[in-house]
Amino acid sequence: MTLNRVPTAFRRATTAAVLAAGIALVALPAPAQPLPAGRVELAQRVTKPSEPPPLPPAPPPVQPRAGVTEGPQPSAPAPAPAPTPPPAPSAATKPSAAPAPMRVIFEKNAMVLSNEARAVLDTVVSTLKADTTLRAMLKSYSSTGTSTSEMRRMSLKRGTLVRDYLILKGIPSIRIDIQALGSSPDDGPADRVDVVADKKS
């Protein structure tokens, strides 16, 4: 009985040792296989971290050439001048004074035009022809007569005489007015016709 058990125990121990050795062989890592040269270089390129590209070199500072000076820098444009304020409205102009009359003098009780009277009326004609907007106002005075009505009748005749002369010289009758005033209220000649050239009303 004892001899038969010994070989059995031995066999069991041997079997256990063989199994343990096999497990140990399986657990060992396989030796690393060397990579070809091309793959080694590729692996190094992949594993190597990428580096930023080198910066370009800074340009050298510009040195002024000898004997060359820089021109003047353009100045800023001058500001536009301030607009001139409009002139202040002037005060209302006063109406111009009435033009001075041109006097035609008569002798007492006379009903004719003297040479001096004709010269005055020729000036009146030139003035009226130069400005067709003017009209002639004849203010006739007379000291002849014993009443106001007689003086006015005489002054009307003298005014009509002056008007006829102006018409004869080419002045339309519609541009001539007569005022027979009789005796003169001022210190001027008592027998006269004042001719006032004024604008048409």
Question: Over its length of 201 residues, how does the chain's per-residue pLDDT go in tens digits?
Answer: 444 454 666 667 666 665 665 555 545 555 556 555 555 455 555 555 556 667 777 777 766 565 555 556 666 667 777 777 766 655 555 555 556 789 999 988 888 999 999 999 999 999 999 999 999 999 999 988 788 889 999 999 999 999 999 999 999 999 999 999 988 877 788 899 999 998 865
What span, in angstroms and rounded, lies between the C-alpha atoms of 52 and 25?
48
Q: Is 73 helix (H, G, I), strand (E, B) or coil?
A: coil
Q: Is 177 helix (H, G, I), strand (E, B) or coil?
A: strand
Sheet bearing 102-105, strands edge to edge: 102-105, 192-199, 134-141, 176-182
Q: Is 135 helix (H, G, I), strand (E, B) or coil?
A: strand
CA 138-140-143 angle, to 5 degrees, is 170
pLDDT score, position 11: 66
Q: Which of 199, 185, 76 is nearest to 141 (CA)?
A: 185
